Amino acid sequence: MGRVRARCGLSVGSVWAVWAVWAGCGLGVGRVGAAADKGLLSYRRGMAPLKSAVWIPLFDELADARVVAELAASAEEAGWDGLFVWDHVRWERPVRALADPWIALTAAAMRTETLRIGPMVTPLARRRPAIVARQTATLDVLSGGRLTLGVGIGSDRFGAEFSRFGDEVDDRKRAELTDESLTILQAAWSGEPVRHRTDNYVVDDVEFLPKPAQDAGVPIWIAGFPGKVRPRRRAARYDGFFPVNLVHPDQLAEAVEGVQEFRADRTAPYDVVVALPPGSDPRPFAAEGATWCLTEFDQNNLRRAEVAAVVADGPFS
């Protein structure tokens, strides 16, 4: 596995600070006990090389679905495995313009054939689960089964995007809403009538068709800090974990162990996701269990030409 090729050294010092709050959890502790345990975490089709993806904020020069579609087409041509986008409705200055992730991903799907796509990550507590069920199934069918849904509880810190719109600002309540929304989504993707009634959401005997193109439904990756029990338990129930605020491979090993202890079947395929700046060597993280490496960009210094150059230069080989 060669080094990551990059044509610009973008500053991403603030990116992990953003995710430290946005994922809404705590810091990780612990250590993987044996190399065999790490080997149990593999890409959903079995043991496979580390996958590569472009991960972009839909801000300012990238706040245009046509630009995202062009980047997606370039990424597929250059050999990337995926393109994922941020999901926000407001951000702090100097960011001024934002694009809708679902429209941008639709444009990307129309310009590509093999590239995996998805929001990374969407705060479900800000969205109605019935609407997300329709959006995800529609986009998965359109893309031919290439959607992955990244999920987190979100944060109000960097754009007041909950408080400015009257949405839930309490972290614990958003976590509750997230868990309930995930339950509704998986029921909806089954194609069977959904009957769900709580103080938060009501779905009264509704059938959601068409189903997603992927037989098992849309894969769900949970983003969050690995230190607290609740996000680890949440991640263990789904298809992948995106542990945030990691700066060293040893921290990823701790995150892997933290999820493994709650997984019902440790031999089942499972994704572990890391995000690194352009030019980083992902091999140490792959050795600790990473199955996907997302190339990230500084949201406060976003230049279309620089992102396009990184994308065109291709991922690691």
Confidence check: pLDDT of 151 > 80:
yes
pLDDT of residue 231: 83
Question: In Å, how far are 38, 227, 230, 253 from 31, measured between CA atoms?
Answer: 11, 12, 18, 6
pTM of the predicted protein model: 0.84
Would you state the structure tokens that stand for residue 172, as one six-digit string? 């614990």
- Give just the sign of the alpha carbon dihedral 174, 177, 181, 182: positive
pLDDT of residue 225: 81
Would you state the structure tokens that stand for residue 314, as one six-digit string? 């291709």
Q: Are 240 and 42 in contact (CB under 8 A)?
A: no
Distance between CA atoms of residues 113 and 116, nearest Å: 9
With 0-12 / 13-18 / 19 or more C-beta atoms within 10 angstroms meaning exposed / middle / buried, residue 83 is buried
Residue 243, preceding peptide bond in cis (omega within 30° of 0): no
Query: What band does 300 get if pLDDT is binned at 50, 70 and 90?
Result: confident
Average predicted confidence (pLDDT) for the chain:
86
Distance between CA atoms of residues 121 and 170, nearest Å: 18
Distance between CA atoms of residues 121 and 118, nearest Å: 8
Which phi and psi (to 5°) does residue 179 adopt?
-60, -40
Would you state the structure tokens that stand for residue 6, as one six-digit string? 């990059």
Query: What band does 49 get if pLDDT is binned at 50, 70 and 90?
Result: confident
Kindly report the CA angle at 211 between 265 and 202, in degrees rounded to 5?
A: 85
204 C-beta neighbours (distance < 10 Å), count: 9
Question: In Å, how far are 305, 309, 315 from 6, measured between CA atoms?
Answer: 13, 8, 8
Q: Of 29 and 50, which is predicted with more confidence?
A: 50
Ordered by where they begin, the domains of the chain are 15-26+72-310 (3.20.20.30)
Percent of the chain scored above 70 by pLDDT?
85
Distance between CA atoms of residues 275 and 41, nearest Å: 17
Would you state the structure tokens that stand for residue 2, as one six-digit string? 């060669």
Confidence check: pLDDT of 287 > 50:
yes
9 C-beta neighbours (distance < 10 Å), count: 10
Tell me which residue of 95, 22, 82 sits closest to 53, measured CA to CA. 82
Query: What band does 158 get if pLDDT is binned at 50, 70 and 90?
Result: confident
Query: What band does 32 get if pLDDT is binned at 50, 70 and 90?
Result: very low
Query: Which H helix or E strand runs over 310?
Result: helix 304-313
pLDDT of residue 245: 82
Query: What band does 103 get if pLDDT is binned at 50, 70 and 90?
Result: very high
pLDDT in tens, 111-140: 999 999 999 999 999 999 999 999 999 999
Would you state the structure tokens that stand for residue 48, as one six-digit string? 């496979």
Edge to edge, what strands does the sheet with 220-224 contain?
Answer: 116-119, 82-85, 51-56, 292-295, 271-276, 240-243, 220-224, 149-152, 122-123
Tell me which residue of 283, 311, 294 sits closest to 49, measured CA to CA. 283
Tell me which residue of 271, 285, 215, 265 sits closest to 32, measured CA to CA. 285
